[in-house]
């Protein structure tokens, strides 16, 4: 085996976004592009000589090629061991679980999440810490800094590792262990949830369907839901992970999870439906002809955690990203636990989880999770819901109606304007900031703006400050409109507009959310001049 120092020059576009570096596959395929970023990660980290690195990805196109490159670079840079998932397939939450279980130094996860895959699709890479958490901003910025000055990377000459067979191989002095992708994660789930109760539910006349969207969760869902919990074969649909996700867009929402939505809104719909995304960290929950917003899902999990084996000792607190609705806040208030509001990005929950300040976390972008790992976790959320349904023996809709009656309903919607001109998106955001001085006390019908700002967050544990995390219009009745640009896209800009209004009156809680929010949606359009500046009459996706 020989070690090579390969001369290289920096790429200017390697700043990680909301969750790692995401680019078109063709960008990653440029000579040295991936290697530059991987070496920059290693250069930004201290003292990993002889340590263990976990490696895997969501199975998308270029996953296996990237894994072979990273193994050879890890050996050249002095790692002692790489735990790599069989066939390179490791869901994001499973990667977090494996890092924690084997006390690894960290992990590299290859994923662009729900972004479309294939030759012309997207690819992504991110680094997770020893806690299993995505690297915090201090590290991602240090990596970015390294990418700007990199002059060489190190790699060894070695035959590719056979990823299809579990076992051990030496690459130079470094041991490579191909591990089972599912078993560690499945064991963790069995610790947290009452599998016997869920098994009983699934053996009754309860019907359910899980859509893996041809992405990473298929093998996990088949082992846990069908083999271990006894759901009828075929309960997991689109179960085979494909390098192009079957040409689909594995974002579990009402627009892209169309197979599942069609089933759950049919006349003979099953009782429960769920979907997960490309890398298995997102989830969508549906009841019979009923959609549960991710914000409501977090609130329901928080209110019902005492029913679940793994959480019976009580919750220390709950955290949500700023644009997520305030439904969980109401539950936290009643339970007398802390509720934290962080910027968008799971990495911001890491310090709170490590300091045991929160047990559950959630985001409007179809993410929920807990202190069992340091990533959001799609299948975990599905099992949590199944466990609640097994205990409460009520329908999803009844559970939600009862929840709203007790805590009030937070009507909520997110309107996305995808792939708009970046310059126009910046003008729109600046236009909003320019109005900060005159908007307070401005009235639109019943709505009066009380305060507006660009959200800034000081981490209560490490005191790091993150500025410009989204423009907030806060209304005197508690309603909110928030504007952000997505940090996960790879083309142009995506404007996200989040709209929320609180309705404590039970007699008004059954309306459709787009109708209930129509006046506020109009305000959101008007204040930001969305049509004029984007040229779009309608959002691309409404969730």
Provide the token pair at 408: 């009030």
Taking the least distance from each CB to ligand G16, the nearer of 216 and 520 is: 216
Nearer to ligand G16, 252 or 273 (CB): 252
Specify the residue, 57 or 345, whose C-beta has the smaller distance to ligand G16.
345
- 95 CB-contact burial (10 Å; exposed 0-12 / middle 13-18 / buried 19+): buried
The binder of ligand G16 chosen from 72, 100, 158, 282 (CB under 6 A): 282
Binding ligand G16 (rule: CB under 6 A), the pick from 59, 106, 252, 345 is 345
Residues 494-533 that bind ligand G16 (CB under 6 A): 496
Dig out the tokens for 69 from the structure: 């490159």
Structure tokens at 342: 């962080």
Q: Would you please indicate which residues are annotated as catalytic (active-site) residues?
A: 113
Residue 51 has a CB neighbour count (10 Å cut-off) of 17
Nearer to ligand G16, 330 or 496 (CB): 496
- What are the backbone angles phi and psi of residue 43, rounded to the nearest 5°? -65, -25
The residues near 368 (Cβ < 8 Å, ≥ 6 apart) are: 283, 294, 297, 298, 301, 360, 361, 362, 376, 377, 380, 381, 384
Question: Can you tell me the distance from the alpha carbon of 52 to that of 26, in angstroms, rounded to the nearest whole number?
Answer: 30
Q: What contacts 530, CB < 8 A, 6 or more positions away? A: 417, 428, 495, 497, 524, 536
> Does 488 sit near ligand G16 (CB under 6 A)?
yes
Q: What stretches of 359-490 show up as alpha helix (H) in DSSP?
A: 378-392, 396-407, 422-434
**Are 441 and 448 spatial neighbours (Cβ–Cβ below 8 Å)?**
yes
Q: Does 246 bind ligand G16 (CB under 6 A)?
A: no
In the complex, minimum distance from the CB of residue 313 to ligand G16, in angstroms, rounded to a whole number: 27
Is beta strand 338-342 parallel, antiparallel or unpaired with respect to 317-321?
Answer: parallel
Is 486 a binding residue for ligand G16 by CB under 6 A? The answer is: yes
For the bound state, the minimum distance from the C-beta of residue 367 to ligand G16, rounded and expressed in Å, comes to: 6
First to last CA, the chain: 52
Q: For residues 46, 51, 52 and 53, what is the CA-based torsion angle, rounded to 10 degrees?
A: 30
| Residue (125 or 260) nearer to ligand G16, CB | 125
- The reply on whether position 324 binds ligand G16 by CB under 6 A is no
Interface with ligand G16 (CB under 6 A), residue from 281, 377, 459, 500: 281
CB atoms under 10 Å from CB of 50, counted, come to: 12
Rounded least distance, CB 294 to ligand G16, Å:
10
Smallest separation (angstroms) from ligand G16 to the CB of 417: 12
What is the pattern of x (binds ligand G16, CB under 6 A) and - over residues 261-280? ----------------x---
Residues 184-213 that bind ligand G16 (CB under 6 A): none
C-beta neighbour count of 108 within 10 angstroms: 26
363 contacts ligand G16 (rule: CB under 6 A):
yes
Residue with Cβ nearer ligand G16 (97 or 202): 97
Please tell me the distance from the alpha carbon of residue 135 to that of residue 3, in angstroms, as a whole number. Answer: 28
We find the least distance from the C-beta atom of residue 428 to ligand G16, in angstroms, to be: 16
The strand pairing partners of 451, in sequence order, are: 474
Is residue 480 within a helix (H) or strand (E), and if so which, with residue range?
Answer: strand 480-485
Query: What is the pattern of x (binds ligand G16, CB under 6 A) and - over residues 69-108?
Result: ----------------------------------------
CB of 215 to ligand G16, least distance (A): 11
| Region from 38-46, 178-186, 461-469, 480-488 binding ligand G16, contact rule CB under 6 A | 480-488
Q: How far is the CB of 283 from ligand G16 (least distance, A)?
A: 10
* Interface pick for ligand G16 out of 39, 40, 86, 113 (rule CB under 6 A): 113
Q: How far is the CB of 414 from ligand G16 (least distance, A)?
A: 9
DSSP string, 427-456: HHHHHHHHTTTT-TT-EETTEEEEEEEE--
Of 77 and 276, CB closest to ligand G16 = 276
Cβ-based nearer residue to ligand G16, 17 or 270:
17
- Is 320 a binding residue for ligand G16 by CB under 6 A? The answer is no
**Nearest to 85, CA basis, from 97, 76, 93, 95:** 95
Q: Which of 63, 128, 295, 344 binds ligand G16 (CB under 6 A)?
A: 344
Does 346 contact ligand G16 by CB under 6 A? yes
Which residue, 216, 217, 224, 229, is CA-closest to 188? 224
**Does 419 help bind ligand G16 (rule: CB under 6 A)?**
no
- CB-wise, 105 or 349, nearer to ligand G16? 349
Q: Does residue 374 belong to the site contacting ligand G16 (CB under 6 A)?
A: no
Residue 134 near residue 16 (C-beta atoms within 8 A): no
In the complex with ligand G16, the residue whose CB is nearer, 263 or 414, is: 414
Binding characters for ligand G16, 438-477, by CB under 6 A (x = yes)? ----------------------------------------
Strand ranges for 263-326 from DSSP E: 272-276, 283-287, 290-292, 317-321
Number of residues that bind ligand G16 (CB under 6 A): 17
Of 36, 365, 368, 543, the one binding ligand G16 (CB under 6 A) is 365
Interacting residues toward ligand G16 by CB under 6 A: 18-19, 113-114, 277, 281-282, 344-346, 363, 365, 367, 486-488, 496
């Amino acid at each position: 085996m020989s070690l090579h120092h390969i001369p290289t020059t920096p790429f200017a576009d390697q700043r990680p976004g909301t969750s790692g570096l995401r680019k078109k596959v063709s960008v990653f395929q440029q000579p040295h592009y991936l290697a530059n970023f991987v070496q920059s990660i290693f250069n930004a980290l201290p003292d990993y000589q002889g340590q263990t690195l976990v490696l895997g990805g969501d199975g998308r196109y270029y996953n296996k090629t990237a894994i072979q490159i990273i193994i050879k670079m890890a050996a050249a840079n002095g790692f002692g061991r790489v735990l790599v998932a069989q066939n390179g397939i490791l869901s994001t939450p499973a990667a977090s679980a494996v890092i924690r279980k084997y006390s690894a130094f960290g992990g590299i996860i290859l994923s662009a999440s729900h972004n479309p895959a294939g030759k012309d699709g997207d690819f992504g890479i991110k680094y997770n810490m020893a806690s299993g958490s995505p690297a915090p901003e201090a590290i991602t910025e240090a990596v970015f800094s390294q990418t700007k000055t990199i002059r060489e990377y190190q790699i060894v000459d070695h035959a590719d590792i056979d990823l299809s067979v579990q076992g051990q191989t030496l690459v130079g002095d470094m041991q490579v262990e191909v591990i089972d992708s599912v078993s560690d994660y499945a064991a963790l789930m069995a610790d947290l949830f009452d599998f016997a109760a869920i098994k009983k539910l699934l053996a009754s006349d309860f019907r359910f369907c899980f859509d893996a969207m041809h992405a990473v969760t298929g093998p996990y869902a088949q082992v846990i839901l069908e083999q271990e919990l006894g759901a009828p074969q075929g309960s997991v649909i689109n179960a085979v992970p494909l390098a192009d996700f079957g040409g689909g867009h594995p974002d579990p929402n009402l627009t892209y999870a169309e197979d599942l939505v069609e089933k759950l809104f049919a006349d003979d719909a099953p009782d429960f439906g769920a979907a997960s995304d490309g890398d298995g960290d997102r989830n969508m929950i549906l009841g019979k002809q009923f959609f549960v917003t991710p914000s409501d899902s977090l609130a329901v999990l928080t209110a019902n955690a005492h029913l679940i084996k793994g959480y019976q000792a009580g919750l220390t607190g709950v955290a949500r990203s700023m644009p997520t609705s305030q439904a969980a806040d109401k539950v936290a208030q009643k339970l007398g636990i802390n509720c934290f509001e962080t910027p968008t990005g799971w990495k911001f929950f890491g310090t709170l989880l490590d300091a045991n300040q929160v047990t559950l976390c959630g985001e409007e972008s179809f993410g929920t999770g807990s202190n069992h790992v340091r990533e959001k976790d799609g299948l975990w959320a599905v099992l949590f819901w199944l466990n609640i349904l097994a205990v409460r023996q009520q329908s999803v809709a009844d559970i939600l109606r009862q929840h709203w009656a007790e805590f009030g309903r937070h009507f909520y919607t997110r309107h996305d304007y995808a792939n708009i001109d970046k310059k126009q998106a910046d003008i729109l955001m600046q236009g909003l900031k320019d109005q900060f001085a005159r908007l307070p006390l401005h009235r639109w019908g019943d709505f009066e703006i009380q305060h507006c700002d660009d959200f800034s967050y000081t981490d209560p544990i490490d005191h790091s400050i993150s500025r410009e995390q989204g423009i907030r219009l806060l209304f005197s009745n508690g309603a909110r409109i928030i504007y952000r640009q997505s940090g996960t896209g790879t083309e142009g800009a995506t404007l996200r507009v989040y709209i929320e209004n609180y309705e404590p009156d039970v007699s008004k809680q059954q309306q459709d959310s787009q109708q209930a929010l129509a006046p506020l949606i109009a305000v959101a359009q008007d204040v930001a001049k969305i049509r004029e500046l984007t040229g779009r009459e309608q959002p691309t996706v409404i969730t």
